[in-house]
Structure 1
Amino acid sequence: MNLHVKQKIPLKIKKMGINGEGIGFYKRTLVFVPGALKGEDIYCQITAVKRNFAEAKLLSVHKESKFRVTPACDIYEACGGCQIMHLQYNKQLEFKEDLLRQALKKFVPRGYESYDIRPTIGMEEPQYYRAKLQFQTRKIKGEVKTGLYAENSHYLVSLKNCLVQDKTTQAIVNKVAVLLGKYQLPIYDERKIAGVRTVMVRRSRKTGQVQMIFVTSKSLNFNSLVQDLVRDFPEIVTIAVNLQTSKTSEIYGEKTEIIWGQESIRESVLDYEFALSPRAFYQLNPEQTEVLYGEAVKALDVHPEDHLIDAYCGVGTIGFAFARQVKSLRGMDIIPEAIADAKQNAKRLGLSNTYYEAGLAEEIIPRWYKEGYRADALIVDPPRTGLDDRLLETILKYAPKKMVYVSCNVSTLARDLARLTKVYEVNYIQSVDMFPHTARTEAVVKLSKR
C-alpha cells in the first residue's frame, strides 16, 4: 500500500458507503472519507491505514456535487449524530435504497439481483422527528452538559437545539442540565465519580405526555429537582430512575423504579392506542412509524384463520395492527416490563385472541410447537444486531408460510436473508426513512415460503 498517515492526496469519490462516507480509490486502494459525496473531486489527509483500505479526513472539495447542501446545524460535524445532512434530502432517499443494494451484493442472498427494491418513502418535513432522546451527562468546566459523544470518542458534544429532536424533549433536557447543577447532584465520571450518567426523555405524539428516566451509578435524591421540573413542564407524567453501577457501554442496568407519577404514557399508531412504560421499546419517529407499520400490514397480508407470531413484540405495537384480522396473535420479548405492557394494552383494546410471554423467541417458539401451536405467519422486528442464530434456525425449521422482516440495519438484514432464502422467497423490499439525515434506514421485507 502506497499510503501513510498524514499523507495528503487528491481523490475522486466513486460512491458512498454504509456510514454515509465517500469512497474513492487511490492507486487501487479503497479510501473512506466522511463528508465527501459521490462524484466529487476532493483533497484529503490520511488518518489511518488498514490492511485493505485507508481512512481520511476531508480537507477541501475541488469539484462539488450539485446535490451538496449546507447543513442547517451549526455543530453538524462535531456531533456526528447525523452523517448525511450535507446531502440534498431526495438524494438521501436514493442513497438509502443504494445501501440495501450494497448490503445484498455483499451477502448474496439467493436471487438478490432480481429483488423488487422499492423507492424509499421519505418525510415531507424531515426535522424535529425524534420523539425520544437519550443524552449523556457530564460536568465540563464546572457546568453540567447533556448531549451525545462525538463519533468514536467519549468527548461530549453539548446539544441544546438539535434539529432532528422533538422540541419539547429538547427543552426538558436543557432544563434538566440546569437543575442538576442547581441541586449539585453528582455527575458520573468514568474515572472516579458516581452519579447521573444518562437522561432519557420520550414524548407521545398522540397525547403529548412525557416520561423520563435518570440513569445513575449511585442512589440519589431527585425530589427537589423533580418538583421544579414538573412545575415547569406539566406534560411530564412519569419520572423513573435506573441504577447502572457497572462500567459498561450498556446504558441501562436491570432495575428501573418509578419515583414520580404514573406507570406509563399513552401513544397511538394506525387506529389503536397503547401504553408505554419507560423502558419499553418504541420507534423513535412516530410519524414514519405510521408508514412503516402500514407497509408491514400490507406485506404480511393475513387472513381471518391465520395464527400469527410477533417475535420481538415489545409492548405489542406492531402486532396489534394485525390482531383483529387473525385468529390468534402470540408475542414474546426479553423485557418483562414490555410484556406486562403488551398484556395490558391487549386488554385495553378488548382483544381476546392474544397471548404474550417474556423470554427468548428461540426458546419459546419451539416449546409452543411442541405444545401443538402452529403459526401461519411470522413478523420479526429485531434490534440492529439482526436475528439471533438460534432464532434463525427455529424459523427455518418451522417455516410459517408467510413472513415479514422489519429491519433497522441493512447489513444484518442482508446477512439474515442469505439464510432465510434457503426456505423463503423475497417478494419485495420497501425501505422507509425513519432517520432523516443519518445513514440508517428501515426496511420491510415481504417473504413467502418456497
Structure 2
Amino acid sequence: MSEKKRTGSALGNDRGRSQGRHAGGGNKGGGAKAAPAWMADLPVRLGQQVEADIVGISHEGEGVGRANGFTLFVAGALPGERALVEVAHLKKQYGHARLVELLEVSPDRVRPDCGIYEQCGGCQLQHLSYEAQLRVKRQQVVDNLERIGKLAVAAGNNEGTASQEGIVVHPTVGMADPWRYRNKAQVPFGEERGGLIGGFYAQGSHDIIDMEACLIQHEANDEVVARVKEIGSRLGFRAYREETGTGLLRHVVVKVGFRTGEIMVVLVTNGAEIPRVDEWVAGIREALPAVKSICHNINVKQTNVIFGDETRTLWGSDVIYDYIGDVKFAISARSFFQVNPVQTEVLYGKALEYAGLTGDEVVVDAYCGIGTISLFLAQRAGKVYGVEIVEEAISDARKNAALNGMSNVHFEAGPAEVVLPAWTRQGVRPDVIVVDPPRKGCDPALLATILELRPRRVVYVSCSAATLARDLRVLADGGYGVAEVTPVDMFPHTVHVESVCLLVRD
C-alpha cells in the first residue's frame, strides 16, 4: 500500500451514496413530507452542501465530521481531512452526509487495493493506511474505556507508554502482512444474466456484489467460490431469493486449515435435497483436490441466519483440522473457530501471559466454545475447567482435548453463572478466570459470580470495546484493578478490534 495520494471525491461518492440511502429514512410513499419543527433549529439543512472538518472515525468506519458545530457522519472521510459534504439525513443530535469533495486530504489516505471496495460492505478501512488503522483501533479502545467505563487511562502517546497512573493501553498488535488472513468465507448466492453470482452484500443493503477475489480471504476460499458458481450455473441451479423464499442455493461456506491445507465446503440450500448431487460432489473434487470434506446444510427458514439445524456430510470427513500454536483442533461445519489463525495465536498468547501460569493454577474458562482458549491454557495450567452454554460446542471441546491427549481439562455445558457456583460447591477454587464473551459482553450474573469467587486474576478477551468497558466498570467497582489492555488486530481493514485485558484483585 505505497500509493498514498487519493484526490477528489471518487472514494467517498459510492460509499457515501450507499450510506445515505441506508440512513436517509426517506418517505417511501413518494409524496412530499413536511420536515419536523426541530429541524429548523439545526445549523444544517437536508440537501445542503457544507464544509466539514473530520475529527474521528465511528465504530462503523464513517468519518466523524463537524460542520457549524454539528456532528455529521461521512462515509469515506478520514480524520484530519476537510470535506465538502451533502447532508442526507438528520436527527436532533447528529446527521449523515455524502462526501462530495475532499478539500484537504489526510496523509494516511491510501488507494484501496480491492477493485470492488467502494461497493462491497465487507471492509470499511482499506482507504486508511494500515499503520493508521492500528492507531485508530487503539484509540477506539481508549475512548470506550474512558467514556463508557469511566475508567482512567494512563496518559501517554499512542505507543502505550504512561506518564501517570491509570490503565496502560498498549499499541494495537498488527499483522506483518494484513491480507489473505481469513480461513472462512460465507458467501451468499444470487443470479445475473442467467447464471449464479456470489460475493458479499453491498454496504447497507442485501444486494450481492459478485466477487472474483477477496483480498482478506485465503486464496483457497476464492477458488472454491468460483468453482461452486461455475458448477451450479452449469447444472442449472437457481439461487435463493429472500423476498420470495424460492430458489435452492443460499450460501457456500468454505473453511480452510492454514497449517494443514485441508478444505471443507458446505453448501447451504433451501431444501432437503440437492438434485444431481453426485455431479456436484464429483465437480468439486475434480476441481479442488485439497477438499477433504463436502457437507450439506439445510435451511428452509425465511431468515438472514446462514445455517439451518441439519447438516449432512456428502463426501469425505465430517471435520477438517488446523492448529493454534501446538494445539490441534477438529473443525466441523457449524463449529466456531477464530477466522484469523495467525492473530489468534497472538491473542491467546497474550491471554496466557496475563494469566501468569506457573503450572499449578486452577483456571476457569467461561464461554469456552470448542475449547480453543482452554486447551491453549492447559499447556501451562494445573487444571482447566471450561463451561459453555452450547452443548454441541462442549462435545467438540471434549473431542479436541482427547485429540491432543490433554487430561487436565474438564468441560461442562450450561450457563457459566450456574455451573461455576456448582463447581465451587465441589471444591473447585479458581486462581484465574478467563472470559471470552460474545459481542454483547458478559452476563451480569456471571460478573456477580466472578466477584463472589474472587479469583486472583481475571483475563477478559473481548470482541467489543464498548461492552468490555461496561463490564470492566462492574469488576473495578467490585474490587479488581484493571492493569493493562492489549488491542489485537484480528480483522485488518475492518473497524473491528479485539482486546485482551488483565484484572488483578485488589
Q: Give yes or no for TM over 0.5.
A: yes
Please say if 1:360 is aligned against 2:412: no
Task: Work out the CA distance in 1 between the residues paired with 2:234 and 2:475.
Answer: 55
Of 242, 266, 283, the residue aligned with 1:213 is 266
Deviations along 1:48-71, one digit per CA (max 9) or x if unpaired, are 111210011211101111111111
Quote the residue 2:242 is aligned against: 190
Of 308, 313, 332, the residue aligned with 2:387 is 332
* Matched length: 450
Task: Work out the CA distance in 2 between the residues paired with 1:109 and 1:328.
Answer: 35
Please say if 1:180 is aligned against 2:225: no
Tell me the SS of whatever aligns to 1:37: coil
**Structure 2 contact 121–204 (Cα < 8 Å) conserved:** no
Gaps of 5+ in 2: 1-41, 155-165
The residue type paired with residue 187 of structure 2 is F
**Stretch of structure 1 that moved more, 93-102 or 339-348:** 339-348
Please say if 1:152 is aligned against 2:207: no
Task: Work out the CA distance in 2 between the residues paired with 1:51 and 1:398.
Answer: 45
RMSD of aligned Cα (Å) = 1.7
Quote the residue 1:418 is aligned against: 473
Quote the residue 1:444 is aligned against: 500
Task: Work out the CA distance in 2 between the residues paired with 1:273 and 1:7.
Answer: 58
Of 138, 153, 162, the residue aligned with 1:97 is 138
1:36-435, aligned counterparts within 5 Å?
Answer: 36-112=77-153, 114-192=166-244, 193-221=246-274, 222-423=277-478, 424-435=480-491
**Structure 2 contact 240–248 (Cα < 8 Å) conserved:** yes
Give the TM-score normalised by the residue count of structure 2: 0.85
The residue type paired with residue 44 of structure 1 is V
Tell me the SS of whatever aligns to 2:251: strand
Identity %: 36
Note the C-alpha offset of 1:194: 4.3
Task: Work out the CA distance in 2 between the residues paired with 1:276 and 1:226.
Answer: 20
Task: Work out the CA distance in 1 between the residues paired with 2:476 and 2:296.
Answer: 44
Deviations along 1:331-356, one digit per CA (max 9) or x if unpaired, are 12233333222112211222111111
Task: Work out the CA distance in 2 between the residues paired with 1:57 and 1:70.
Answer: 19
Note the C-alpha offset of 1:73: 1.0
**Stretch of structure 1 that moved more, 168-177 or 209-218:** 209-218
Say if 1:404 and 1:412 are closer, same or farther in 2 by CA, change over 3 A: same
Say if 1:324 and 1:69 are closer, same or farther in 2 by CA, change over 3 A: closer
Q: Which has the higher strand share?
A: 1
Task: Work out the CA distance in 1 between the residues paired with 2:409 and 2:67.
Answer: 58
Task: Work out the CA distance in 1 between the residues paired with 2:169 and 2:75.
Answer: 26
Say if 1:334 and 1:215 are closer, same or farther in 2 by CA, change over 3 A: farther
Tell me the SS of whatever aligns to 1:428: strand
Note the C-alpha offset of 1:369: 2.4
Task: Work out the CA distance in 2 between the residues paired with 1:51 and 1:399.
Answer: 44
Give the TM-score normalised by the residue count of structure 1: 0.96
Gaps of 5+ in 1: none
Say if 1:388 and 1:252 are closer, same or farther in 2 by CA, change over 3 A: farther
Task: Work out the CA distance in 1 between the residues paired with 2:253 and 2:483.
Answer: 38
Deviations along 1:196-219, one digit per CA (max 9) or x if unpaired, are 212110100110001122222211
Tell me the SS of whatever aligns to 1:77: coil
Note the C-alpha offset of 1:186: 3.4
Task: Work out the CA distance in 2 between the residues paired with 1:311 and 1:364.
Answer: 10
